[in-house]
C-alpha cells in the first residue's frame, strides 16, 4: 500500500497526542481550497509503503503515541482497515480524517474499533456543498449517514469546517447547525493560504465573522471551537 506523505512529528494534527501524520493520496472531491491538492490524484508519488511506515512506527514506539491518517480521502483505500489494525497492534492510537462520503467504509472501521478519533469535514450548507467541494453535484445522503454514525459515538469525534470568506456566510452556519445537531464538538478552521493550494484568491474570514458563525452553531452542539488565526 502506497503512503504518499509522512510528517514524522505533529503536536497539532491529533488533539492531545504526540503523533505523526500519514498522508494517503486519492480523493473523490476537488475542494478548491484544499491544502493537499497534490494528493488529490491517486497517482501521487509514494514516499514509502505500509511496511516502511510500520518499520518507522516500531522505531518510534515510546516517543509517539498517536498516528493521524489523512489524505486525500483515506476511506477510499480498501487496505485501510488492515493498516489500522497493524498500527494499533503496535500500541498507537489512531485518528482518522474523512470527508464523510464513504459511510460504509467508516462503519466497518468503527465497528472493528480501529479508530480512536475521527475528524469529519462538514463543508458547507446543502445549497453550497457541491461548489465548496469543487464538483458539479454531491449526494448528501452518504455525508448525513457518516454524521449519524459518528454521533452514535463508537469513537471520539469532531465535525469541522474550513471557513473560506468566498464560500461561507451566515447562511452556511444556519444550515450546518441543524445538520450536526446533538454532536459532541465542532470546530471552525479559518482557511490559511499555502503553496499547496491549487487556486488563488481565497481568504480567511475575520475574527468577528468567525465568532458570529460559532455563535450560530453553538446552540446545536456540545462545544464549538475556532482553530488557528483568522
Interface contacts to ligand SF4, rule CB under 6 A: 27, 29-31, 34, 36, 40, 71-73, 99
Residue 65 and residue 14: Cα distance in Å, rounded?
A: 10
Q: How far is the CB of 108 from ligand SF4 (least distance, A)?
A: 20
Place of cell 444556519: 174
Residue 35 and residue 71: Cα distance in Å, rounded?
A: 10
Q: How far is the CB of 208 from ligand SF4 (least distance, A)?
A: 25
Q: How far is the CB of 14 from ligand SF4 (least distance, A)?
A: 17
Chain centroid, CA 20 distance in Å: 15
Q: How far is the CB of 191 from ligand SF4 (least distance, A)?
A: 11
What cell was used for 15? 488533539
* Nearer residue to ligand SF4 within complex by CB, 13 or 73: 73
* Nearer residue to ligand SF4 within complex by CB, 15 or 72: 72
- H or E element, residue 187: strand 185-190
* Nearer residue to ligand SF4 within complex by CB, 64 or 187: 187
Radius of gyration of the chain (CA): 17
Q: How far is the CB of 1 from ligand SF4 (least distance, A)?
A: 18
* Nearer residue to ligand SF4 within complex by CB, 64 or 188: 188
Neighbours of 161 (CB within 10 A): 23
* Nearer residue to ligand SF4 within complex by CB, 93 or 99: 99
92: left (phi over 0), alpha (psi -120 to 50) or beta: beta
Q: Which of 24, 23, 20, 84 is nearest to 56 (CA)?
A: 20
Amino acid at each position: 500500500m502506497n503512503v504518499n506523505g509522512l510528517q514524522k512529528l505533529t503536536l497539532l494534527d491529533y488533539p492531545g497526542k504526540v503523533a505523526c501524520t500519514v498522508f494517503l493520496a486519492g480523493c473523490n472531491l476537488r475542494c478548491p481550497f484544499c491544502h493537499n491538492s497534490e494528493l488529490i490524484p491517486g497517482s501521487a508519488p509514494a514516499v514509502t509503503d505500509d511496511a516502511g511506515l510500520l518499520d518507522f512506527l516500531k522505531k518510534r514506539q515510546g516517543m509517539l503515541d498517536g498516528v493521524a491518517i489523512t489524505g486525500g480521502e483515506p476511506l477510499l483505500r480498501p487496505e485501510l482497515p488492515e493498516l489500522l489494525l497493524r498500527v494499533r497492534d503496535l500500541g498507537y492510537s489512531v485518528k482518522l480524517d474523512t470527508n464523510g462520503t464513504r459511510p460504509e467504509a467508516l462503519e466497518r472501521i468503527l465497528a472493528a474499533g480501529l479508530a480512536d478519533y475521527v475528524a469529519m469535514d462538514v463543508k458547507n450548507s446543502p445549497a453550497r456543498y457541491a461548489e465548496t467541494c469543487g464538483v458539479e453535484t454531491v449526494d448528501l445522503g452518504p455525508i448525513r449517514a457518516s454524521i449519524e454514525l459518528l454521533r452514535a459515538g463508537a469513537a471520539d469525534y469532531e465535525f469541522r469546517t474550513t471557513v473560506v470568506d468566498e464560500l461561507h456566510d451566515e447562511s452556511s452556519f444556519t444550515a450546518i447547525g441543524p445538520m450536526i445537531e446533538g454532536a459532541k464538538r465542532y470546530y471552525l478552521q479559518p482557511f490559511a493560504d499555502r503553496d499547496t493550494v491549487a487556486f488563488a484568491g481565497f481568504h480567511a474570514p475575520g475574527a468577528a465573522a468567525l465568532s458570529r458563525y460559532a455563535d450560530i452553531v453553538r446552540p446545536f452542539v456540545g462545544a464549538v471551537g475556532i482553530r488557528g488565526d483568522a
